[in-house]
Structure 1
Amino acid sequence: MRRMSPAPVSDTWLVIPLFNEATVVADVIAEARETFPHIVCVDDASTDDSGAVARAAGAVVVTHPFNLGQGAALQTGVDYALTATDAAYIVTFDADGQHRVVDAEAMVERAREEDLAIVFGSRFLDGRTKPGWLRRIILKGAVWITNQQTGLRLSDAHNGLRVIRRDAAGALHLEQNRMAHATEIVLQLSRTKLPWAEHPVHIVYTDYSRAKGQSLMNSVNILIDTILK
């Protein structure tokens, strides 16, 4: 896919939570590093060799000794970017190939051009993403609950592709380790009162993710965890 710009985005770090994605993560990292040379993967106690594969592909790898959940992995990655680097922006990005690098790049550029502290990716702002009717209903239900809890009006509150400027990232102190962390991120970022926007992105439901059964089950888990939060 054609890059938006020829130069690497050197002031941005990708934070990638990582759990048992050894078969795909090397390709995800290789593609992302063409645009974003700085990537930290947080290996959340994978039982395969995900961490070693990610490190060999060029990412910095931080390892949890025990499985703590995606929320904890994101917090570890954000903490690393804030304390060990001079990143101006942090991008949260999935390890399974469902997020597109070109969307992440466009979101960083928009944050820069419009002086935005947060850019939330949304699969529901255009018609490119085809989540299926059941997944759409579940995700829309979770969005409604999240909007009631946070006071924001998002169309896709549980999209893992986000751009967070350094000052906003400093406000994140995630305690919800399961899927409810997505609502917690929105809530904590909303409290900063910093400027934000949504940006249309294309979520690619791959054969790999469908084979793992994670897309629909994640949607169900999002709804359950959001209700129980």
Structure 2
Amino acid sequence: MVSEKRLSGLRPISRECNLAKITKIHEKREIMKLLIVIPAFNEERVIADTVRGVKSVISKESQILVVDDGSNDFTGELAKKAGAIVLRHPINRGLGGALGTGLYWAKVKDFDLCVTFDADGQHDPSDLKKVLQPLYYNEADVVIGTRTKTGWKEIPRDRKIILAVSNWLTWWLFGIKTSDSLSGFRAFNRRGIEKIQLRTDRMEVSNEFFSEIKRHRLRLAEVPIRVIYTNYSRSKGQRNSNAFSVGVKLVLRLFR
């Protein structure tokens, strides 16, 4: 049975609705608190546009949190000016550290829903409704926005190889089959927010999510999302050498 709660900034979803159209709601019913977490490191070129894009599809009751991961440019200032709350790390801790800070904020501030969203313009804000839909219908605790079902041709060849290896490791280590273990577009309900505890600071956090999903027996769903690759977003990806290092660290976990 569908909860009477309403997603903050999103109207009640019907199976036939156009998921590309996100409308704001103003009803006298309990609203689910929604937080969008955007980890960012030296993203002054795009962060304001990213924040404004997200802001345009959510209501004023929702919040956007930019975790400025020790940037040495004006990322934090521009994000705040665009309308986001900004938390700043004094040093660069890495993607895992930034996501951990964001999820912790969602937990202590008592948000019902949390979505992680890339800062580099790779994600389409209109897909927010799509990733939140399984949570709204109580079909999942964690939702992954997968790029492989709609944007496989757009993914650079070297990243396809990295993704394939990461997906295989996720299955081997945790017994979870996923088509996009490295997606940064994820959504969590309150149970997911409370249960997932991130301990790694760097890129291996992408697979640590699945360790937590398995440990707490969280329900996982995937939905297709649009991927927007630009020369800028391609330049922000991790190097192959870094990806190899992450893979080694994951394998070593088996022998701890």
Task: Please give the TM-score of this superposition, normalised by the length of structure 1.
Answer: 0.90
| 1:227 match | 248
| 2:159 match | 135
| 1:32 match | 54
1:191 Cα deviation from its structure 2 partner: 1.9
Report which stretch shifted further, 41-50 or 191-200.
191-200
Cα deviations by residue, 1:87-119 (Å, 9 ceiling, x for unpaired):
211101111100111222211123212431111
| 1:175 match | 199
CA contact (8 A) 2:147 2:183 kept: yes
| 1:118 match | 142
SS where residue 77 of structure 2 aligns? helix
* Counterpart AA for 2:247: T
1:12 to 6, 14, 34: 34
**Aligned counterparts of 1:145 and 1:164: Cα–Cα separation in 2:** 23
| 2:224 match | 200
1:193 Cα deviation from its structure 2 partner: 1.3
Aligned length: 225
SS where residue 137 of structure 1 aligns? helix
Provide structure 1 residue ranges, at least 5 long, that are not aligned to the other structure. Answer: none
**Aligned counterparts of 1:204 and 1:150: Cα–Cα separation in 2:** 29
Cα deviations by residue, 1:148-170 (Å, 9 ceiling, x for unpaired):
11111101111000001111111
SS where residue 170 of structure 1 aligns? helix
SS where residue 78 of structure 2 aligns? helix
1:46 to 71, 92, 107: 71
Q: Percent identity?
A: 32
**Aligned counterparts of 1:192 and 1:204: Cα–Cα separation in 2:** 33
Cα deviations by residue, 1:161-203 (Å, 9 ceiling, x for unpaired):
0001111111222121111010001210222212221111122
CA RMSD of aligned residues (A): 2.1
1:2 Cα deviation from its structure 2 partner: 5.2
**Aligned counterparts of 2:146 and 2:76: Cα–Cα separation in 1:** 29
| 2:44 match | 22
| 2:105 match | 80
* Counterpart AA for 2:186: R
Aligned pairs for 1:141-160 (under 5 A) are 141-160=165-184
**Aligned counterparts of 1:145 and 1:101: Cα–Cα separation in 2:** 29
1:62 aligns with 2:87: yes
CA contact (8 A) 2:42 2:75 kept: yes
